[in-house]
Amino acid sequence: MSATSQNQSCTACAQSKRKCNKQRPSCRRCRDRDEDCVYRPRKKHCRQRRPLTNAFEAEQHIIGDDLIVTPPHDWPALSFPDPALDFTTAGWSIPPSPRADGGIVTQSLLPITAILPTIPPDQSLWFLQTDSWTLHQNDELASCQSTTDLEAVFDTVRSMLVRWIETGSNGFIHSKLYEYGMPTSLQDAFVIFASYTAATPAMRTTVLQIADERARRLIQERVSTADEGLGEVRAQLSRVHALFVLVFIRLFDGSVRFRASAEKQVHILRKWMNDSRMVATGHRGYHALAMELTGVDRRSATTSIWHSWLEIESVRRTLLIVQTIANVYHCMTVGHATCHGAVMITARKGMFEAQTSAKWLDICSSIEEPLLVPPLRPTAWMLEHSSADVDEFVLEYWRYIVEPDRLKCWVDRGRRDHTVDE
């Protein structure tokens, strides 16, 4: 196949004037829409350009087959083919955050139809809200000794990683996150962890040696989104997932040599995780999202929003796990650790487990709020919400930071209330 044809967009993307990632045999947009992806040979004769018909079209610039739009100052209002897409309500609000002067800041969560060019750039969907990225520390002191069963925390995270190997997903890695392309570094980590869990004592040292070498190689590599066919958020997050798996294996193994090597890489893991958080914080500015959603059908709009949320939520949950495991290790080795904090995560039951955009939209359409919660500050939040509405990942995590009797009473009360409602 010629280089010219490889750089050409597929027929569906070209006709819709949408950006095509040009993957073979099927581009991402066609896969998401369940459409046949066809690449036609480029005609060698020059086509005659039709005259531009309006001011908006006059500011469009075509470079190759990619359409880059420079919109006029008067943006058209977003219109959605189906009112069901407007699933958020003005009543959705982020939990209050303390101000420096002691006051309280509360932000309303905007409906999808509010993503218009007339609003300030910092207003968007609830999962893109600026305040939802604030780092919250534990209810206790930021630096303190822990009475948590640290071995149990390690076992829980290890079980999550085993679940990822067995089913392709867990509480912080969604099954759709790398469905169409797991980066090479993450493939290595996947295979190494699978080998580690099944290795005999005689083979474990060999697996640890491979993990150590792969971790060093990964740290030396540069981030590349083009080679992997991933967006910036997923490319950053995949490196975090890969390094986390490789560090996790060596930190809690009996080998002193490999544990020392992994310990030196914890600060790099934290830095990469913070970089992913910063990339996600500025993810898909409201202009880009508005351009993508304007004039598209219901299914395309829903899928686009769902994929954006899925990436963002994966970053939020991964941050929580990475910080927790790093702190657990420091507590086990020196007796205390500094709480670096975590951002809000979506706790609504069923949302992260949804396997299709349609299912996710159904859940969003039937609830009053998505339950964005500060995972390290659950006490006050638990007084106002039912455990029946919270997903298993959050409940599993709170078993280690909430007093056991209080958590049990809260969970039992939620079950009773859910039974009565039925």
pLDDT per residue as tens digits for the range 102-159: 343 343 443 333 333 333 344 457 787 778 888 888 755 444 445 567 888 999 999 9
Task: Kindly state the average pLDDT of the residues 235-256.
Answer: 92
Q: Indicate the residue among 36, 69, 102 that finishes a domain.
A: 69
Residue 363 CA to residue 349 CA, distance in Å, equals: 9
Tokens for 5?
């044809």
Number of compact structural domains in the chain: 2
Indicate the pLDDT class of residue 58, thresholds 50, 70 and 90.
very low
398 vs 43, which has greater pLDDT?
Answer: 398
Indicate the pLDDT class of residue 87, thresholds 50, 70 and 90.
very low
Residue 337 CA to residue 327 CA, distance in Å, equals: 5
Average pLDDT taken over every residue of the chain: 75
pLDDT computed for residue 283 by the predictor: 63
Query: For the chain, what percent of residues have pLDDT higher than 90?
Result: 35
- Let me know whether 55 and 31 are in one domain: yes
pLDDT computed for residue 217 by the predictor: 95
Nearest Cα residue to 300 out of 363, 231, 357, 366: 357
For 295-342, the pLDDT digits (tens) are 555 566 778 888 889 999 999 999 999 999 999 998 888 887 888 889
Q: Indicate the residue among 40, 69, 98 that finishes a domain.
A: 69
User: Which residue type, as a one-letter code, is found at position 188?
Assistant: D
pLDDT computed for residue 76 by the predictor: 33
166 class by beta-carbon count within 10 Å (0-12 exposed, 13-18 middle, 19+ buried):
exposed
For 349-380, the pLDDT digits (tens) are 999 999 998 898 888 888 777 888 989 888 88
Query: For the chain, what percent of residues have pLDDT higher than 70?
Result: 68
Q: Decide if 94 contacts 131 (C-beta within 8 A).
A: yes
Domain that holds residue 309: 85-421
Residue 421 CA to residue 417 CA, distance in Å, equals: 6
pLDDT computed for residue 7 by the predictor: 66
For 73-85, the pLDDT digits (tens) are 333 333 333 444 4
- Let me know whether 353 and 232 are in one domain: yes
Indicate the pLDDT class of residue 4, thresholds 50, 70 and 90.
very low
Tokens for 48?
């005659």
pLDDT computed for residue 130 by the predictor: 79
**Domain assignment present for 80:** no
Judge whether residue 92 has pLDDT over 90. Answer: no
Nearest Cα residue to 110 out of 352, 247, 257, 289: 289
- Let me know whether 303 and 229 are in one domain: yes
- Let me know whether 49 and 141 are in one domain: no
- Let me know whether 191 and 304 are in one domain: yes
- Let me know whether 144 and 176 are in one domain: yes
pLDDT computed for residue 126 by the predictor: 73
Classified as helix, coil or strand, 67 is: strand
CATH number at residue 32: 4.10.240.10
- Let me know whether 197 and 291 are in one domain: yes
